[in-house]
Amino acid sequence: MNFSRRHFFGAATGLATAAVLSACGSNSGGVATGSSSAPSAGASGTGKLLQWYHEYGEKGTKEAVERYAKAFKGADVTVKWNLGTDYMTLLATTLLSGNGVPDVFESENGATLDMIQKGQVVDLTDTVGADTSKFSKPVLDRMTYQGKIWAVPQVVDMQMLYYRKSVLEKAKVEPPKTFADLVAAAKAVKTDKMGGFFAGNDGGLGVLANMLIWSSGFEQLNSDDSGLGFIESNFFDAVNAYRDFYNSGALLTSASKDWFDGSPFVNGETAMQWTGLWALNDIKKKWGDDFGVLPFPSIGSSGRQAVPFGAYGSCAAAKGTNNNVAVAKDYIKWLWIDQTDKQVDFANSFGTHIPAQPALVSQASQISSGAGKEAGRFRGQAGSCLRAAVDQHHL
Amino acid sequence: MFVYVPIVWSAYLSFFDARATIRPTQFVGLANYKYLLTDSLFLNSMLTFIVFAVFIVPLTYVCSLALALALDNVGRLRAFFRSVFFIPTACSYVVAAMIWRLSFFNGARFGLMNSVLSSLGFEPVDWLGGSNSWYWVALVSLRLWLQVGYYMILLIAGLNQIPTDTYEAAAIDGASGWRRLRYITLPQLRATSAAVLMLLLIGAFQAFDEFYNMLSTAGAYPPYARPPLVHLYLISLGGSQQDLGLGGAGTMILTAIIVVFGLAQNWWVTRPDRRQQ
C-alpha cells in the first residue's frame, strides 16, 4: 500500500487542531495584498488550462484524471501530477509566488482561508448554482465561507475503526462501542506478536485528537462559533483516559506503516486499527469476511460514536497561468458536477471512496455491501466533517 | 541572485507582518524577533539543536579523525578504502532517511533493528514514535554515516600537510603512538580541525532533511525533535499557514548565531599566533 487521498486527513486533522487551539489568539495577518474580488472571467484566455492534482497512491488514478481532462472539449487541459507528500505546501507557495499557478487545482477540504482572503481563488457559487442540493451538505458547507462556495467537492473519504472478528471472538470480547470497551478489548487481544489497537506511530494522538472532542460529546466550536466548544471536564477525562490507554501497553505505538496505511492491520501487527475507508479494498483482499468496521467509540457518559469525513475540493485560481477563469469554472462544473460517470469511476475504481453527490452512492459498488455499506451508514449517523481554518479564523 | 536576494528579502520580511505575502505593507519593527526569542517552541528547537550538536559534532570528528589516521597508515589499497568510506557522502539525505525509517529503524517487530534485538532476546523498540529518546540513535547514526567520509578526506588532506621530518625528528627522540598524536598530529591539525568542527556545527544548525523525512508523517510533524530549521519551516510554510515574517526573523537569528560561532572559531584558531606575538 502507499499513500493516497488519506494525506489530507492527516494535514487537515492537524490543521483543525492547530486552528482550534489558536483560534482566539491567532495571528490573523491583516496584510492587505491581492484582491478578494474575482477578475473578469477569461478576459484574455488562451484556450488552455493547467490542472493540478496531488499524488494519489492508487494505481491508475493518474491515467484516469488524464483521460477525464482529455475528454473536455472546452479547452486543452494539461494535468500536472505533483509527487510527494507536501502538496498543500507546494500549492500555497505557488499561489503566493504567482509563477506557474494552476488554473484549476484540488485542495484539501476546499480552499484555505489564506487562499480566499488573499484573492487567490474565485467564487464558485454561481458555478454550482442550482446543483447545490446534489452535494452532501456538510461536505459542501466545509467548502463554503461567508455564504460563498469556493470549491466543488470531488470525492468523500472517511476514517473508521477496523477490527478482526475472529481475534475478538477468540478473546471473547464484543466489538467495542465505548472507549472503555475498546481498552478492555485491546488488552484482551494483545499478544507478544499482535498489538491491541493501532492509530499511528505517534501513539494515535495526531489523528485522534479531534475524535477525542467529538466522541466525548463536543464540537470544536461552541454553538455560535464564538469560542472553543470542548473545554469541559468530560473532554479532559477523555484525554486522561487516552493517556491511560497509551500507558497500558495494549495500544500499539509503533508499526511498519502509519495510521493512514492499512498495512499494520493487513500484516497482522494489530487486531484493531484506525485508518481510512480507502484501505478497505486491501483489507478485504487479505482478510475476506474476517473483519468488521466501527465508528470511534463513545467516551464518557455524554459521549457518542463518531467518524470524521472530508473531501478534496476543486478550486479555480484567480490568476492562473492561462488566465482562463471562465473556462476553468466551466471545466470544474463539467467534471465534478455534470460528469457523474467519471465521478463514480474516480470514487470506486481506485481504492474505496464515496461519491460527493449522495445520489451516486448506489452506483459505487464497493460501498454498496458489507463493510463498505456499514461505513456509509456511519457517515450518515455519526459523521463529523473535518472543520479547519475557514471555520476558525473569523472568530 | 539566488543567494543575496533571498537573504536581503528575508531580512526585509522579518520586520513586517508578512502572512501569506512576500510584499507586506504592515511594518511591525522587532515584533517578530521578540515573539521568537520569547517563544518556548523556538527556544526548544534551539535546545534540540544543542542536543543534536553535542552528539553529532564530536562523534563525527572523532570517527573521521580515526578513519583518517587509520587510512594514513594503510599502505596498499589506500585509495580503495578512501573510496569505500567516501561513497556514502554521495547519497541523498532524503533517500538515506527513507531507508533508515522504513527498514533499519522501522518500529514494527520485523524492522531490521528490532529483528536483531529480538534475536538477542530483547523487546522491540519504538524507534521513532517519540515515546522514548531512541529516535536520536536513528538521527545521529544517519548523519554520521553520510558525512564521516567527507570529513575524513578533509582530515587526510590536513595530515598530508604535516611535514614528515617532524615525525622523523619525534621518532628519533623516542616519541610514538599517543605522544606523537598528542604533541604533533593534533596541534598541526589545529586549523583543519577548527574548519571541520565549524562545518560540522553549521551543518548541525542546518539539519532539516533527515529530521523531516524520518519523522514527518502525512503532512504533519511530531512535537518532538524539531531543530530550528524544521520549526521555522513549519511556521512559515508548514501546512497551509505562511508566516514569512516569523520565518525571516528566525533565519536572521540563526544567521547571527552562526556568525558568532564563526568569530569564536576564528579567535580560537588564531590564538597561538597572538600568543607568539
Q: Are A162 and A272 in contact (CB under 8 A)?
A: yes
* Cα(A257)–Cα(A327) distance, integer angstroms: 41
Residue B194: all three cell numbers together: 577548527
* Residue in B241, B243, B244 to test binding to A, most A beta-carbons within 10 Å: B241
Beta strands A270-276 and A152-163, pairing class: antiparallel
Residue A12's pLDDT band, with cuts at 50, 70 and 90, is very low
The DSSP symbol for B205 reads H
Interface of A with B in 259-278 (CB under 8 A): 259-260, 264, 267, 269
Residue A96's pLDDT band, with cuts at 50, 70 and 90, is confident
Give the CATH H-level superfamily of domain A7-157+309-392: Periplasmic binding protein-like II (3.40.190.10)
* Cα(A8)–Cα(A54) distance, integer angstroms: 10
Closest C-alpha to A100, from A42, A52, A165, A132: A52
Mean pLDDT by 10 residues, chain B (277 residues): 86 91 88 94 92 93 94 82 92 94 89 92 88 92 96 94 86 81 89 91 91 82 89 78 88 91 81 73
* Cα(B255)–Cα(A366) distance, integer angstroms: 55
Query: Which pLDDT does position A8 carry in this prediction?
Result: 40
Query: Which pLDDT does position A293 carry in this prediction?
Result: 93
pLDDT digits (tens, 9 = 90+) for A365-378: 888 778 788 877 77
* Cα(A366)–Cα(A354) distance, integer angstroms: 9
Closest by Cβ to B217, choosing from A88, A117, A201: A201
* ∠ CA A316-A320-A325, rounded to 5°: 55
The reply to whether residue A96 touches residue B20, judged by beta carbons under 8 angstroms, is yes
Beta bridge partners of A79: A51
* Residue in B240, B244, B246 to test binding to A, most A beta-carbons within 10 Å: B240
Residue A76's pLDDT band, with cuts at 50, 70 and 90, is very high
The reply to whether residue B222 touches residue A93, judged by beta carbons under 8 angstroms, is no
Q: Which of A166-170, A171-175, A370-374, B26-30 has the lowest mean pLDDT?
A: A370-374
Name the segment(s) of chain A with CATH classification 3.40.190.10: 7-157+309-392, 159-308
Is A50 or A309 the better-scoring residue by pLDDT?
Answer: A50
Query: Which pLDDT does position B79 carry in this prediction?
Result: 87
* Residue in A1, A192, A254 to test binding to B, most B beta-carbons within 10 Å: A254
| A308 CB neighbour count, 10 Å cutoff | 27
Percent helix, strand, coil in chain B (nearest 5)? 70, 0, 30
Give the CATH H-level superfamily of domain B27-271: MetI-like (1.10.3720.10)
The reply to whether residue A10 touches residue B219, judged by beta carbons under 8 angstroms, is yes
* Cα(A322)–Cα(A49) distance, integer angstroms: 6
Burial class of residue A161 in the structure, from the number of CB atoms within 10 Å of its CB (0-12 exposed, 13-18 middle, 19+ buried): buried
Instruction: Please give, one letter per residue, the 3-state secondary structure of A75-143.
Output: CEEEEEEECCCCHHHHHHHHHHHCCCCCCEEEEECCCCHHHHHCCCECCCHHHHHHHHHHCCHHHHHHC
Q: Is the pLDDT of residue A110 over 50?
A: yes
Q: Which helix (H) or strand (E) holds A51?
A: strand A48-54
Query: In degrees rounded to 5, what are phi and psi of residue A356?
Result: -70, -25
The reply to whether residue A253 touches residue B129, judged by beta carbons under 8 angstroms, is yes
Query: Which pLDDT does position A20 carry in this prediction?
Result: 33
Query: Which pLDDT does position A75 carry in this prediction?
Result: 94
Once rounded to an integer, what is the mean pLDDT over residues A72-98? 90
Q: Read off the amino acid at residue A128.
A: V
Contacts of A96 in chain B (CB under 8 A): 20-22, 242
Identify the three-state secondary structure at position A50. strand
What does CATH list as the number for A159-308? 3.40.190.10
* Portion of chain A with pLDDT greater than 70, in percent: 84
Q: Are A156 and A348 in contact (CB under 8 A)?
A: no
Identify the three-state secondary structure at position B149. helix
Q: Is the pLDDT of residue A1 over 50?
A: no
* Cα(B16)–Cα(B23) distance, integer angstroms: 9
Residue A18's pLDDT band, with cuts at 50, 70 and 90, is very low
Query: Which pLDDT does position A368 carry in this prediction?
Result: 79
Give counts: helices (H), strands (E), chain B: 15, 0
Identify the three-state secondary structure at position A13. helix
Q: Are A75 and A316 in contact (CB under 8 A)?
A: no
**Interface membership of A15 toward B (CB under 8 Å):** yes
Domains in chain B: boundaries: 27-271
Residue A317's pLDDT band, with cuts at 50, 70 and 90, is very high
Residue A64: all three cell numbers together: 484516469
B238 Cα to chain A: minimum distance (Å): 6
* Cα(A353)–Cα(B38) distance, integer angstroms: 45
Residue A182: all three cell numbers together: 475498546
The reply to whether residue B239 touches residue A269, judged by beta carbons under 8 angstroms, is no
Query: Which pLDDT does position B144 carry in this prediction?
Result: 96
Residue A381's pLDDT band, with cuts at 50, 70 and 90, is low
pLDDT digits (tens, 9 = 90+) for A241-253: 999 999 888 999 8
Percent helix, strand, coil in chain A (nearest 5)? 45, 20, 40
Give me the interface pTM, i.e. the ipTM: 0.71
Beta strands A354-355 and A152-163, pairing class: antiparallel
Residue A33's pLDDT band, with cuts at 50, 70 and 90, is very low
Report the Cα B67 to chain-centroid distance in Å. Answer: 19
* Cα(A73)–Cα(B246) distance, integer angstroms: 46
**Interface membership of A44 toward B (CB under 8 Å):** no
Residue A384's pLDDT band, with cuts at 50, 70 and 90, is low
